[in-house]
Amino acid sequence: MNKKNFLAIDIGASSGRTILGTLNNGVLEIKELTRFANSLIELNGHFYWNLLSLYEAILEGLKKTVRDGIEISSIGIDTWGVDFIAIDKSQEILGMPYSYRDPHTTDAPENFFKLIPRRNVYESTGIQIMNFNTLYQFYTLNQNQSTVLKEADKVMFMPDALSFMLTKKVVMEYTIASTAQILNPYTKQPDAELLSHVGLDKNKFGQLVMPGTVIGNLSDSVCRQAGINFVPVVAVGGHDTASAVVSVPALDENFAYLSSGTWSLMGIEVKEPIINSETYGLNFTNEGGVDGTIRFLKNICGMWLLEQCRKEWGTELSYPYLIGQAMECKPFEYLINPDAAVFSNPVSMTQAISQYCIDANQEAPQSVGEYVRCIFDSLALRYKQVLESLQSLAPFVINRLYIIGGGSQNKLLNQFTANATGIPVIAGHTEATAIGNIMMQAKALNIVGSLSEIRQIICDSVSPVTYQPENTGIWNEAYNKFNKICNNKYNHEERSLSRESIRNS
C-alpha cells in the first residue's frame, strides 16, 4: 500500500479540527493540524451557527497543508446532525443556519403529531423523537411562513453544505440525512407524506449518496484562496457519529459503542432497522451507518452538562483539576437524570442541577467537586439504564462497551461506566470521528475495501485501554436510587431532544 495523506474536517457542536491522516503499509497515523471554535451566535432571541466562520476554518486547514508541504489525496467533512442550510436557484445561501438548540421548535413535535400521529412518524422513519429533528425544524419554519423554505431551491445538511461551499456540488449524504427524521429506513429515500406536511418535496434535496462517494473536486475559487491544487472531496459518514463508529476497534459484532462527547450516543450495529412497539416506547433510533449498516442507538446527554458548568466556573479550571475534585467527594450523594428537559439549554446549568436535586428530595451540590461527581455518577448510571434496554433489543449478547471520541480520555468516567454496567469498557481513540472519516476517504479511493478491513487496520494502529468493572455491588445499590429518582413525580419529562451526537461527536 502506497503512502497516502487524507484531510479530515471534523466539526462538533462546540469545536472543530482538521486532522491529517497518513495511511502507510496498513497502518494509520493521525496528526491535528488546526483547531477552531464552533460557537452559537444569539441574535434577536434565536441561535445560529456561523457558517462563514466554519468555511474560513476549513480554508485555514487547507492552507496549513500547503505551508507544511503535505500533498493530500482527498478531503472529507463530518459534522453534528439535523441542522441545514438552504440555497436559492442562483446557488446563493439563504441566511445563516439555525442551531438545533434554538427554542423555536420546543413544542413542534406535539403540534406536528396533530397532522400525523407520533407513532406513525416513528414507524415511517425509525428515528427517535427529538424536538430539534430536522423534520420539526422544517415544520416550524413552514408554520412561520419563513422565506428560507419558500425561496429554497435546495436544502443541504451541514456536511453537505460545507462540501457544497468547497465544490459547488449539491448532494445529500445518507448518514447525515438519516438523522433528520425524513428518510424511510428501508428505501433510504425521503418520505413524501412527511415532507408534504412541511411544505417540501424530494426535489428540494440533492442526490442521495452513500458514504465513500466522491462528490467532486475543490472549486477554482477554493484552490486559488488556499493555494492548493484540485483535490477530490469525499462524502464520508457525514454524521460525526457515523464516522466515529467506523473506528471501533472490534473484529466481531458482540459489542455496544458509546460515542462520548458533548452528547453521548450508545448503540449497536445491525443490518436491518429495529422498529417495533418496544423501540417506539423506549424512543430508540435507527440511523444510517456505513457499508450497509444501521446504527441502532439511543441519544443521551453527555459532557454538555459539565461544559456548561465549566463556563460558569471559568474555563481556567482544567478537566484534570475538576476530576481530582470529584474524586474527593462522597459518591451518589447527588443524582440527576441527565436527559431531563431542564438540562437542555438552561441559563445556569449549576442552578438547574441544584433545583433538580432539591425537587427530587436531595440536598443541592455546593462545591465544584460535588457538581462534577453528581454529573459523572449520573451519566454512568444513565449509561447502565440505556445499556439494559439496548441488550433487551439486541439480536446478540453484548459483552463489552467501546467508548470512542473525546470522552475516551476521561479515565474516571470510563471506570465509573465499567462499574455501573458490569462489563469491560474499552476506550478507543479520542479522534475516533476523524479516523472513521479518513478511512472512508480511503475506501472512496479504493485503497481499502470493506468495513472489516478498515477495522483491522484500526486495530493494528491504535492501542485501546480496557477498564474492568469494580465495586459492582455498590453501584447496583446506587442504580436503585437512581431509578427511583428518575421515576418519581419530581422527574421532569425526559427531553424529546436528548441527542449526541449529536456526538462526538
Return d(Cα 116, Cα 197) in angstroms, integer. 9
Burial 311-323 (b: 16+ CB within 10 A, else e): eeeeeeeeeeebb
Contact 154, 177 (CB under 8 A): no
Q: Is 83 considered catalytic here?
A: no
The type of residue at 205 is F
Dmax (CA) of the chain: 64
Burial 476-493 (b: 16+ CB within 10 A, else e): eebbeebeebbeeeebbe
> Mapping DSSP to helix (H, G, I), strand (E, B) and coil, where does residue 337 land?
coil
Report which DSSP code applies to 96.
P
CA distances from 231 to 73, 163, 166, 234 (A): 7, 12, 10, 10
Give the distance from CA 143 to its chain's centroid. 28
Contact 502, 238 (CB under 8 A): no
C-alpha cell at 209: 449518496
C-alpha cell at 116: 400525523
Write down the catalytic residue from 10, 160, 240, 339: 240
Return d(Cα 36, Cα 61) in angstroms, integer. 10
Taking the alpha carbons at both ends of the chain, their separation in whole angstroms is 30
Full DSSP string of 182-217: -B-TTT-SB-HHHHHTTT--GGGB-EEE-TTEEEEE
Return d(Cα 383, Cα 265) in angstroms, integer. 10
Q: What number of other Cβ atoms are within 10 A of residue 173's Cβ?
A: 29
Contact 125, 183 (CB under 8 A): yes
CA distances from 33 to 7, 57, 61, 309 (A): 9, 11, 7, 29
Return d(Cα 343, Cα 32) in angstroms, integer. 32
Burial 129-165 (b: 16+ CB within 10 A, else e): bbbbbbbbbbbbbbeeebebbeebebbbbbbbbbbbb
Contact 72, 65 (CB under 8 A): yes
Q: For residue 24, what is the enclosing H or E element?
A: strand 15-24
Tell me the catalytic residues.
240
